[in-house]
């Protein structure tokens, strides 16, 4: 069984713990450093987030670049991840200190397989992701692919998908930049509710179109990593 690690370096908005319904457990230390928080008894999914280290969940992280860089260095070097099959790093949008710090620290310890870029269909979002593509090329990061999120709205009553924003922006960006288009995930109220409540959407709604989209993207990524 695969063992996955998730490193949440969105220091100003650590939301992964809530999405996984973990709460705010104490982070313990061992001889190798901080022990990540496991989401299941089999210890197949490990998570480290600054959300576990804040005394107050509403506390704002007001840090300058050097302090952010130091914390990310600790997350990469001083967490006892153990033997992982995949380490997934969730970063905030943009090309800032967090991204450079993650890249520099990961390269000290292992190979960086690549980056998954997520956009919404609108031009204002694809413009930001275009700059992230430039960042990847300048720093020598392989682009594993582009995902178009909020691609249409799935009605919770009839399951019909309506393009309330627009559609195809992510796929068009992939074509223009020579990147792989991994797929589109619609705006699904069932998925939003599952994330808000920390429930397992995959198990709850295995027949939904959103599940099919996420499953297809995941499978394509796994195959890409195996051939990297």
| pLDDT at res. 103 | 92
Positive or negative torsion for Cα 156, 161, 164, 165: positive
Q: Say which CATH class 1-111 falls into.
A: alpha beta
1-111 and 113-227 agree in CATH topology? yes
For 130-144, letters b (16+ CB in 10 Å) and e give bebbebbeeeebebb
**Contact criterion met (CB below 8 Å) for 92 and 13:** yes
| pLDDT at res. 31 | 86
Rounded to two decimals, what is the model's pTM? 0.88
**Residue partners of 47: CB distance under 8 A and separation at least 6:** 5, 6, 7, 8, 16, 17, 20, 22, 36, 37, 38, 39
Cβ neighbour number for residue 28 with a 10 Å cutoff: 10
End-to-end CA distance of the chain: 20
| pLDDT at res. 228 | 62
* Fold type of domain 113-227: Rossmann fold (3.40.50)
**Contact criterion met (CB below 8 Å) for 117 and 180:** no
Domain definitions of the chain by residue range? 1-111, 113-227
Q: Which residues of the chain, if any, have pLDDT below 50?
A: none
Q: Rounded to an integer, what distance in angstroms lies between the CA atom of residue 167 and that of residue 149?
A: 10
């Amino acid at each position: 069984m695969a063992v996955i690690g998730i490193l949440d370096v969105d220091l100003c908005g650590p939301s992964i713990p809530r999405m996984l319904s973990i709460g705010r457990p104490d982070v313990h230390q061992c001889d190798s450093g901080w022990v990540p928080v496991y989401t299941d008894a089999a210890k197949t999914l490990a998570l480290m987030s600054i959300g576990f280290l804040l005394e107050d969940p509403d506390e704002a992280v007001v840090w300058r670049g050097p302090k952010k860089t130091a914390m990310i260095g600790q997350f990469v070097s001083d967490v006892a991840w153990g033997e992982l099959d995949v380490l997934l790093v969730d970063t905030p949008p943009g090309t800032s200190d967090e991204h450079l710090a993650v890249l520099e620290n990961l390269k000290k310890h292992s190979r960086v397989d690549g980056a998954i870029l997520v956009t919404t269909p609108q031009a204002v979002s694809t413009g930001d992701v275009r700059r992230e593509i430039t960042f990847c090329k300048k720093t020598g990061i392989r682009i594993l692919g582009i995902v178009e999120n909020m691609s249409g709205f799935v009605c919770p009553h009839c399951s019909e998908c309506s393009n309330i924003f627009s559609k195809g922006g992510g796929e068009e960006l992939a074509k223009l930049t020579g990147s792989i288009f991994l797929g589109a995930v619609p705006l699904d109220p069932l998925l939003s509710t599952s994330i808000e409540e920390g429930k397992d959407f995959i198990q709850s709604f295995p027949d939904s179109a959103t599940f099919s989209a996420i499953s297809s993207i995941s499978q394509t990524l796994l195959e890409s990593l195996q051939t990297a």
